[in-house]
Amino acid sequence: MSEQAVRVSLPILPARTDAGSPTQSRLWHSSGESSKPVKILSQHLYIEPISSCNLHCRMCYTNVVNGPSRRLLEAEPIVDFVLRYANVTAAPFSIYWCGTGEVMLHRSFPDMVNRIQAGAPQVEQIIQTNGTVKRLAEFQDLTRIDFRVSIDGVKPLHEWHRGPKTYDRTVAFCRDALDRGCRSMNIRCLVTLDNIVLLDEFAADLTAALGPRYTLSLTVPYANPALSRVRAASALINRNEIEDNRIITFEEAARICKERYQGRYTLAVDDEVDNYLSLSSGGVYTCCEGVVRIGDLADPIETLIERMAGSEAACRSCALFPCQ
């Protein structure tokens, strides 16, 4: 796909002008109704070990903090927590590594993954990354790692969001991880008014670079109306307004997937709201948005699981509910 072709195609859909409207605001990243069940996933951990990031994405909803005041979880308490958790949890048990920044910037990240693979081989590990930091050689066994890599559409649109010279680096990261035998590669794309009309071109570019070795997931990003409702309650949410005027509504994105692509692309939608133990420097929460805090990493695992099981009312009263 040439950049010229992309420029000629834009913009197809108008920018939103009603971002602050309360009746509209529930449409952004709210794909379901409040009757959704809350499901307790007690065989799933979500770990956010670092708030630093090397990129500055326009729509990033998390509270990226760089420099000395960054939020950081050291390796020892994380590995200790995971091994204690693994002792009381039957397989299948999985860890989703993410950051309110970029996990690959944590100096001990590959070491933590390797130590968990050695100490609790039954644990599945999923790594969410922006794919711009070259550290794959530090992982001992990529054949047991599932990657989620952020690529937000064809090159010019990805770089509109993530910055210049990011697309080729990230695609090269994906190819390298696949060539080194990673178990799976899922490309996660935030859909916008611009990239949603170029999904065939995007998929063709990815297939040309990676072969048919990846899957593609589409997510409608959170926009400011939703984020402003939880900013005060969570230290993990971006302190500033994001650039959301190219964000598409869920309903419009679903319509385009159905009519333009006849369902060949679908949006990530959960039938339920998932609760799981989510670890960050602020403590342990019931999900990655960091709103419902239930304890500390040093707390007994059984206590945390009990508190999570009893947190449905708190989850339902979160201003983002039903978040996905």
Ligand X SMILES: C[S@@+](CC[C@H](N)C(=O)[O-])C[C@H]1O[C@@H](n2cnc3c(N)ncnc32)[C@H](O)[C@@H]1O
Q: Is 322 in the site for ligand X (CB under 6 A)?
A: no
Helix (H) or strand (E) holding 314: helix 312-316
Interatomic CA distance for residues 239 and 260, integer angstroms: 36
Q: What minimum distance in Å lies between the beta carbon of 216 and ligand X?
A: 13
In the set 30, 63, 89, 130, which binds ligand SF4 (CB under 6 A)?
Answer: 130
Q: Where are the alpha helices (DSSP H) in 100-236?
A: 109-119, 155-162, 167-179, 199-210, 224-230
Considering beta carbons, is residue 61 or 214 the nearer one to ligand SF4? 61
Q: Which of residues 214-243 bind ligand X (CB under 6 A)?
A: 219, 221-222, 242
Greatest alpha-carbon span in the chain: 58
Choose from ligand SF4, ligand X, none: what does 56 bind? Cβ within 5-8 Å by kind: ligand SF4
Which sign, positive or negative, has the C-alpha torsion 93, 39, 78, 190? positive
Count of beta carbons in the 10 Å neighbourhood of residue 300 = 11
The single-letter code of the amino acid at 200 is: D
Considering beta carbons, is residue 108 or 132 the nearer one to ligand X? 132
Binding footprint of ligand X, residue count (CB under 6 A) = 18
Choose from ligand SF4, ligand X, none: what does 242 bind? Cβ within 5-8 Å by kind: ligand X
In the set 86, 190, 197, 257, which binds ligand X (CB under 6 A)?
Answer: 190
Q: Is 64 in the site for ligand SF4 (CB under 6 A)?
A: yes
Choose from ligand SF4, ligand X, none: what does 188 bind? Cβ within 5-8 Å by kind: ligand X
Q: Is 101 in the site for ligand SF4 (CB under 6 A)?
A: yes
Interatomic CA distance for residues 167 and 161, integer angstroms: 10
Q: Is 60 in the site for ligand SF4 (CB under 6 A)?
A: yes
Q: Which of residues 77-106 bind ligand X (CB under 6 A)?
A: 98-99, 102
Considering beta carbons, is residue 64 or 120 the nearer one to ligand X? 64
Q: Is 260 in the site for ligand SF4 (CB under 6 A)?
A: no
Q: Which of residues 127-156 bind ligand X (CB under 6 A)?
A: 128-130, 150
Choose from ligand SF4, ligand X, none: what does 274 bind? Cβ within 5-8 Å by kind: none
Considering beta carbons, is residue 64 or 291 the nearer one to ligand SF4? 64
Considering beta carbons, is residue 30 or 89 the nearer one to ligand X? 30
Decide if 301 contacts 276 (C-beta within 8 A): no
Helix (H, G, I), strand (E, B) or coil at 187: strand
The pair of three-digit structure tokens given for residue 297, joined into one six-digit string:
């990493």
Count of beta carbons in the 10 Å neighbourhood of residue 9 = 14
Helix (H, G, I), strand (E, B) or coil at 209: helix
Q: What minimum distance in Å lies between the beta carbon of 155 and ligand X?
A: 16
Decide if 203 contacts 214 (C-beta within 8 A): no
Decide if 72 contacts 281 (C-beta within 8 A): yes
In the set 15, 21, 56, 74, which binds ligand SF4 (CB under 6 A)?
Answer: 56
The burial of 198, by beta-carbon neighbours within 10 Å (0-12 exposed, 13-18 middle, 19 or more buried), is given as buried
Q: Angle CA(74)–CA(292)–CA(231) in degrees, nearest 5?
A: 90
Q: Read out DSSP for 218-241?
A: EEPPP-HHHHHHHTTT-TTB-SS-
The pair of three-digit structure tokens given for residue 271, joined into one six-digit string:
């039938």
Considering beta carbons, is residue 149 or 308 the nearer one to ligand SF4? 149
Q: What minimum distance in Å lies between the beta carbon of 91 and ligand SF4?
A: 30
DSSP assignment letter at 153: S
Binding footprint of ligand SF4, residue count (CB under 6 A) = 11
Which residues contact ligand X by CB under 6 A?
53, 59-62, 98-99, 102, 128-130, 150, 188, 190, 219, 221-222, 242
Which residues contact ligand SF4 by CB under 6 A?
53, 55-57, 60, 62, 64, 99, 101-102, 130
